[in-house]
Structure 1
Amino acid sequence: MTTQRKKTIGILTGGGDVPGLNPAIRATTLRAVREGYRVIGIKNGWKGVISIDPSKPFEEQEYCIELNEKAVTRIGRTGGTFLHSSRTKADKVALKDVPEHLKGEYKDEINDLTPAALENIKYLGLDYLIPVGGDDTLSYGFRLHKEGVKIIAIPKTMDGDVPGTEYCIGFSTCVTRTIELTHELRTCAGSHERFLVLEVFGRNAGFSALLPTVGGAADRCVIPEHPFDMEHLTALMVEDRNNNPSKYSVVLVSEGAKMIGGTEVFESEETDSFGHKKLGGIGEVVGSRLKKYSPKFNNGKEINIINQKLGYLVRSGQPDALDSIVPTAYGNLALDLIAQGISGQMVCIRDGKYDHVSIEAVRKDEKGESIKKVNVAKFYDTNRYRPIYQNLMGDPLLIMTRDE
């Protein structure tokens, strides 16, 4: 008689942390272990995959651990990622970031460490790998799929812009936090009769600014999909302030928003391995211009500003209800596909229902940007810089998150 080897599933989280990652890890692990799979958690995303040293025994590895019920039972109620994360693209690794044990083999300024990744996946004995991440993380998962690795992807990003799905883990908590924090800051804006300018996430897509505005967080919002006119925005903000009994108005500014004729604003010129410079500062620029132009539309009187970058506040803390429920469903959907021997798929929500699509759906445009963006013509009033609320019949629960 022969004993059949227990199948092994690997799981990793890549890119920025969001609430909901731990519920996904927990759900996947609990279901898998109870059905007889071995589960290995790979730490630090794709960095962990390339950093495992196959010359060492599993017990001595820094970047992988065996997961069981005891390890994951309590993590579902917490934010962040129990497995940690990184912004690493394994086929584009700078020489300084090549793991020590591989530096004799990879000596170029930029290196493709996919052969090392494949060797380490084989070393771990992975029958399936579940990457949880945004389009950057999952696009490398697609690369491994083409190399023969059995991949089931789970979409995650607070920007809500992974193609192929109406929902990404982390998005609901981001929107919820944005609305909550904006309402808290209203007391300061109202007390001093100021403009409240809040910079929010959204590199290429404005979902994380537009949907909170739908929820009543702001009077106006500016998004990456449509360049805005600064004087026109000022006129609208003065109008809103004058119509408000508390004499203040609010604008949400996507970090990737651009003025007409302008460019994105970056914190620095440094880039990550996906070629992205860190965005940040457009909110301060908008705030200073609002103050500068305000006398023109306010009888010559200047209006002061409260400027706040929400940043990590909207991606910290425990997940909200949706980011506790959806990740649990996604983890179980992944196990359903594995049980059926299916691979090369991403679990998703389409037309309001749980489903799966080819991981090839996670693709980018010629500039390396996500192809999923706000449908401006349908959902964004380009004259009033606010959402369009008409003709929503048949749209998804979160309105503008379907791929068009």
Structure 2
Amino acid sequence: MHIGILTGGGDVPGLNACIRAITLGAIDLGWQVTGFRRGWEGFLRIDPSDPETIAHQSWTLDRERVRGIDRTGGTILHTSRTDPRTQEAGDRTGHVLDVLDKLGIDAMVTLGGDGTLRFSAHLSGQGFPVISVPKTMDNDVFGTDYCIGFSTAISRSVEAINALRTTTGSHERIGIVELFGRRSGETALLAGFLAQVDRTVIAEVPADPGALLPLLVEDRHHSGANYAMCVISEGARIQGEEKNAELGMTGTQRSDEGVGHRLARTIEEETGVGTVVQELAYLMRAGEPDAMDRMVGFAFGGLAVQLLRDKNAGRMVALKDGNYCHVPIATLLEGSKTVDVRNLYDREAYRAKLMRVEGMPMFLY
């Protein structure tokens, strides 16, 4: 068996742990492993008849190549946001299949978010054996409770929020911390809850300045140190504004002025209270993985190899209610994953709420 591995979309901590687990698991079975570089874009740069392009866009993965990589963040294979079906030259699925055939690849394990895994499902639908592994710090891949990278992003965010309290408190201002999360507010919701901020604005619920601003002013007044903290999802909307798409947030592009800065400007104009604004952005996904993302990375990688060993391709590895499992690879196409607002969020108070804890999975989804 000759398997290929690639990573696509945004990098997250834990990818290298997964790559290592896949590689070592495959080698233990006597298989050959090739790592394809730069996601699906790397495939489009390969000419199967040109050894130089193959060498530039792929590596042989062995024990030495993956030694110690689990301790580092990012991905040793590099990444891109590329869908071979949407190229200027047209649908390049045929080229990808030709590369796989000419290089003798029997199956692929793809690590990615929504975009990368959508093409993985498409490739599987063409009859090629694929196992997909969900990763995104937004944790918004439909079909799994957990994606590699989420825990580290939460840990980084909580640390930064609490660190920012010293400056915000020293200047007696309202702190606004903007976190990645265009479609799902899970990152903001959980980070805000764990850091015990005063208010949290998520992507799923528009913020009404007429309700939110008086709450923050009151929070500041009663804090004891004359400051307040608010976390906001980058995809959040402020009532009265035009839609985010019209503000420049489309696809993978982000607005020049984030919603955190727009909220801060509104606060200062309407209340006269100063603000401190911090976009954590790529720092949320930077650096080494925490224990959770190492553990899930290792486990997802091991499960992917076991599925291929058992000739059970066309699956996406997943976590459901705290248990490792796998679902059909096209499951992510069946819906979108967002915050369960009714059970986990108080719209009026702009805060996380726990209706119940007993019987809930660890991350309270």
Q: Name the Cα RMSD after superposition.
A: 1.7
Distance 1:59 1:254, change over 3 A: closer
The alignment status of 1:335 with 2:305, answered yes or no, reads yes
Distance 1:378 1:339, change over 3 A: same
* 8 Å CA contact 1:231, 1:293 repeated in 2: no
Distance 1:116 1:197, change over 3 A: same
Instruction: Provide the TM-score with structure 1 as the length reference.
Output: 0.87
The alignment status of 1:29 with 2:8, answered yes or no, reads no
The alignment status of 1:385 with 2:343, answered yes or no, reads no
Instruction: Provide the C-alpha distance between the structure 2 equivalents of 1:383 and 1:373, rounded to a whole number of angstroms.
Output: 19
- Which residue of the partner structure matches residue 196 of structure 1? 175
* 8 Å CA contact 2:149, 2:285 repeated in 1: yes
Instruction: Provide the C-alpha distance between the structure 2 equivalents of 1:363 and 1:240, rounded to a whole number of angstroms.
Output: 41
Q: CA deviation at 1:59?
A: 8.2
The alignment status of 1:131 with 2:110, answered yes or no, reads yes
Q: Residue by residue, what CA displacement relative to the aligned partner does 1:84-140 show, whole Å, maximum 9, x if unpaired?
A: 00011110013xxxxxxxxxxx4xxxx211111111111221111011011111011
Distance 1:58 1:396, change over 3 A: farther
1:254 to 233, 250, 253: 233
- Which residue of the partner structure matches residue 101 of structure 1? none
Instruction: Provide the C-alpha distance between the structure 1 equivalents of 2:309 and 2:48, rounded to a whole number of angstroms.
Output: 28
2:79 to 76, 82, 85: 85
Q: CA deviation at 1:362?
A: 1.0
Distance 1:269 1:192, change over 3 A: closer
Q: How many aligned residue pairs are there?
A: 364
1:277 to 253, 265, 279: 253
SS in 1 for 2:122: helix
2:147 to 154, 168, 192: 168
- Which residue of the partner structure matches residue 97 of structure 1? none
* 8 Å CA contact 1:268, 1:277 repeated in 2: no
* 8 Å CA contact 2:46, 2:53 repeated in 1: no
Identity %: 41
Distance 1:112 1:237, change over 3 A: same
- Which residue of the partner structure matches residue 4 of structure 1? none
The alignment status of 1:14 with 2:12, answered yes or no, reads no
Q: Which segment drifts farther, 57-66 or 201-210?
A: 57-66
Distance 1:221 1:364, change over 3 A: farther
The alignment status of 1:180 with 2:159, answered yes or no, reads yes
Instruction: Provide the C-alpha distance between the structure 1 equivalents of 2:289 and 2:164, rounded to a whole number of angstroms.
Output: 22
* 8 Å CA contact 2:3, 2:106 repeated in 1: yes
The alignment status of 1:374 with 2:339, answered yes or no, reads yes
Q: Residue by residue, what CA displacement relative to the aligned partner does 1:147-185 show, whole Å, maximum 9, x if unpaired?
A: 111010100000011111111000000000000001111
SS in 2 for 1:130: strand
The alignment status of 1:361 with 2:331, answered yes or no, reads yes
Instruction: Provide the C-alpha distance between the structure 1 equivalents of 2:198 and 2:253, rounded to a whole number of angstroms.
Output: 29
Which structure features the higher share of helix residues? 2
Q: CA deviation at 1:391?
A: 1.3
2:276 to 306, 322, 346: 306
The alignment status of 1:398 with 2:363, answered yes or no, reads yes
* 8 Å CA contact 1:194, 1:303 repeated in 2: yes
- Which residue of the partner structure matches residue 289 of structure 2? 319
Q: CA deviation at 1:266?
A: 6.5
Q: Which segment drifts farther, 33-42 or 260-269?
A: 260-269
- Which residue of the partner structure matches residue 55 of structure 2? 61
Distance 1:113 1:270, change over 3 A: farther
Unpaired runs of at least 5, structure 1: 1-6, 95-105, 295-301, 366-370
Amino acid at match of 1:355: C
Q: CA deviation at 1:241?
A: 0.8
Q: CA deviation at 1:201?
A: 0.6
Instruction: Provide the C-alpha distance between the structure 2 equivalents of 1:398 and 1:173, rounded to a whole number of angstroms.
Output: 13
SS in 2 for 1:61: helix
Instruction: Provide the C-alpha distance between the structure 1 equivalents of 2:147 and 2:41, rounded to a whole number of angstroms.
Output: 22
SS in 2 for 1:327: helix
Amino acid at match of 1:158: M
Q: CA deviation at 1:262?
A: 3.0
Instruction: Provide the TM-score with structure 2 as the length reference.
Output: 0.96
Instruction: Provide the C-alpha distance between the structure 1 equivalents of 2:44 and 2:248, rounded to a whole number of angstroms.
Output: 26
Instruction: Provide the C-alpha distance between the structure 1 equivalents of 2:37 and 2:174, rounded to a whole number of angstroms.
Output: 43
The alignment status of 1:40 with 2:49, answered yes or no, reads no
Q: CA deviation at 1:276?
A: 4.0
SS in 2 for 1:214: helix
Q: Which segment drifts farther, 193-202 or 256-265?
A: 256-265
Q: CA deviation at 1:61?
A: 2.6
